[in-house]
Structure 1
Amino acid sequence: MTDRQGLRAMTTLARLSARGLGRALRPRSTGSAAGPAFGSAMRRHLADPAVARQCREVRLVKLGPDGGWQSLGFDVQPGDEVTVLAAGGFWASKLLDLRFGARMGIWLRPGAGAIVKTPADAASLRMEAGGPLHIVAKPPGEWADESGTFDPAFPRGGVSGEIDACVIVWKEGALSGLGAMAGAGDHGGLVAAALERARHPVPPPRGWRYLWRLGAGEIYSETSHGGERRICCHTRQDVGILQFPADFPLTESTRLRWRWKADKLPCDLPEDIQPTHDYLSIAVEFEDGQDLTYMWSSSLPEGTIFRCPLPFWDKVETHWVLRADAGELGRWLAEERPLRADYAKAIGTPPARIVKVWLIAVSVFQRGEGICEYADIELVDGERVLKIL
């Protein structure tokens, strides 16, 4: 870290500490609070005869930040619809006002199947695999594999708090069950929110999928404007990476082209330290596992290049501030980047191929909001064009 970067980091942390003191007097909500009121409300609603008839299995559990996988004591079958209603959260730093709500880190593991994350603190999931169902609360971090093994390189210490969760397996599906439950009452709007999601799910854009490490979400949606496909990004107190497979050679003439319009950035501080690492970007993943991400910044100069400040990602991700002029927010901007030259400047000796294009949205640290749109994404090398969006 250079002297300038170190001074900037200290200044940013000082500003965060001052904000944290102010917010201690006026806390920001990250969802419903954990505690006895949550459990009492859930038991009362679930006891309603109309709701009870819809439930095949129900469990109320408490989740801590340092616990392992908990068995819920029942099996699920492929195709079962499971609703999770959750309250509470974890503090990483009260001084810096770093808190992660229940929507950020509740994961389920059916049998030996792949792990899945709830996209919100009130949401339903369709099980792709069957077997004993397990649950864990895991703040943002990294897994060793898709079966839910914790990576020992990233111990989960220094985090406090708890999450209360109600897990329901429905007999006739989430839509029917939540409809009955909404008639019995609510707690903090959780039932209403889960019912709205069941009625109006937000699928990922066609051909894209969320990175399994961070889990699926509702951040990205596909729209059409005058026949033109667009991807809308709306992030609020969450994180998600959307990926598109792109097997493409990396040569001197390889270009990434796209258009984007950023309407709101999720952070108003320099994004190059962990507590403020909230941003919007488009990225390219290469066959060596490295990714180069072109980002909007609220505070860093255009042309700034830095390694990701987050554990795990500091080994594989490099950021390039492409846009930082607040006067350009709300405007469509056309971009073109020489990927091989950019890789050589930002990372080192370039590999031979590109493997994926990503869209990244992070708003979990400062719990802000980011809004952006993307269009006309393509990889180009001479006459060869891979249309991505």
Structure 2
Amino acid sequence: MAKGAGLRAATTLARLAARGAMRALRPAPAGPEGGPAFAQAMRKLAAAPEAAAEIREFRLLSLKPDEQGWVEAGFEVAPGEEVTAIAAGALWASKALDMRFGPRIGVWLRAGANGTICKTQSAAASLRMAEGGPLHVVAKPPGEWADEQGRFDPAFPRAGLSGAFDVCLIVWKNGALKGLEALARAGDHEGLVAEALERARNPVRPPEGWRYLWRLGEGEIYREVKDADAHRICCHTNEDVGILQFPADFPLTDTTELRWRWKTDRLPCDLPEDIQPTHDYLSIAVEFENGQDLTYMWSSSLAEGTIFRCPLPYWDQVETHWVLRSQKSDLGRWLSEARPVKADYARAVGTPPGRIVRVWLIAVSVFQRGEGICEYADIELVDGERRLKII
């Protein structure tokens, strides 16, 4: 680490510690709490006759962020069945720095020992199971999987966090919507049933042609808006993380450009984003055939033109950040961009590969639990007469 970056990191950590101390004096709730009160409330709701008539399976589990690994729920699911997960509690990475993670990013499910993993979209959400088998669940804080079957990468041990998620799992006889309507008539607990019901009634779908990166799971961060005047993707992140991907098989030549417009209204962090505890940001990225990606980001504090390797484990091997915008006067304004991707890659990463394979939108707000709001429009890859319109 360069001397200037090292000093900046030390200063940022000192500011975080001071903030943590102030928050400790006036602690804010970490969301709905787990424990006996949560378990008692969920059992009471599920036992109400109207709700019980809709429930096929009901389980309460406590998930800890240690080497516990996948936990069997104690029942099987069939392909197409809907499972509702309602969770409370928090996982703590550092109480001194006030770094905690909620169930929105940390509750994962799979059917069978080798099923494909899937993540809940919030603390109270429903999932349609693509595969059948014994249901397994795990508390998985931000980190890395070895594969899509949920094996843990031994290079990233799961120790070092405290806390727990208490999770209520319900398999419905006639689907999540009908079941949650019955559960809501029986009552609620800290708004969690209402939250699950709202998501069942009005699910947030990824924009057409895009999908969330499986490593971080599905989310509700991005919404597609089409009207008479514009086609754009709106991003709203708050205490979560998500990467949206669009397939883009495109040659990388000296004249290849990534073009787009964006408007950023709010940044999720007000500190330099180049260390792990403050790595909350908004960006657009290009993924290459060699597995590397280059991300053009907004920064609250770093100078425009700053280039740095991602500070997170796993991502430090594949991702490079380029601060494209950081002027506060540009917030709230639509800005047009055009980047010479090959030249940028050569400067930021090294010898360029031959092809682009995907375009990403990235939103991270999990570390400082802030809020980020931005919009994207007119994204395209252009090389002479060749053009790939993305939105």
Q: TM-score, structure 1 length as denominator?
A: 0.99
Shift of 1:212: 0.1
Q: Which runs of 5+ in 1 are unaligned?
A: none
Shift of 1:228: 2.3
Partner of 2:56: 56
Instruction: Work out the CA distance in 2 between the residues paired with 1:103 and 1:379.
Output: 33
1:9-37 deviation digits (Å, cap 9, x = unpaired)? 00000000000001112223332011110
Instruction: Work out the CA distance in 2 between the residues paired with 1:237 and 1:176.
Output: 29
Partner of 1:281: 283
Check the 8 A contact 1:31/1:102 in 2, yes or no: no
The AA in structure 1 aligned to 2:84 is T
Q: What secondary structure sits across from 1:223 in the alignment? A: strand
Instruction: Work out the CA distance in 2 between the residues paired with 1:352 and 1:172.
Output: 50
Instruction: Work out the CA distance in 1 between the residues paired with 2:28 and 2:261.
Output: 34
Q: What secondary structure sits across from 2:367 in the alignment? A: coil
Q: Does 1:16 align with 2:8?
A: no
Q: Does 1:301 align with 2:303?
A: yes
Q: What secondary structure sits across from 2:17 in the alignment? A: helix
Q: 1:156 aligns with which of 143, 155, 158?
A: 158
Matches within 5 A, 1:222-371: 222-371=224-373
Q: TM-score, structure 2 length as denominator?
A: 0.99
Q: What secondary structure sits across from 1:42 in the alignment? A: helix
Identity %: 72
Instruction: Work out the CA distance in 2 between the residues paired with 1:163 and 1:349.
Output: 45
Partner of 2:81: 80
Partner of 2:37: 37
Shift of 1:297: 0.2
Shift of 1:227: 4.3
Q: What secondary structure sits across from 2:169 in the alignment? A: strand
The AA in structure 1 aligned to 2:109 is L
1:268-298 deviation digits (Å, cap 9, x = unpaired)? 0000000000000000000000000000000
Q: Once superposed, what is the RMSD of the aligned Cα atoms?
A: 0.7
Instruction: Work out the CA distance in 2 between the residues paired with 1:135 and 1:332.
Output: 42
Partner of 1:91: 92
Partner of 2:143: 141
The AA in structure 2 aligned to 1:142 is E
Q: What secondary structure sits across from 2:218 in the alignment? A: coil
Instruction: Work out the CA distance in 2 between the residues paired with 1:332 and 1:235.
Output: 19
The AA in structure 2 aligned to 1:165 is V
The number of residue pairs the alignment matches comes to 389
Matches within 5 A, 1:148-227: 148-227=150-229
Instruction: Work out the CA distance in 2 between the residues paired with 1:275 and 1:57.
Output: 39
Shift of 1:185: 1.1
The AA in structure 2 aligned to 1:64 is K
Q: What secondary structure sits across from 1:95 in the alignment? A: coil
Q: What secondary structure sits across from 1:356 in the alignment? A: strand
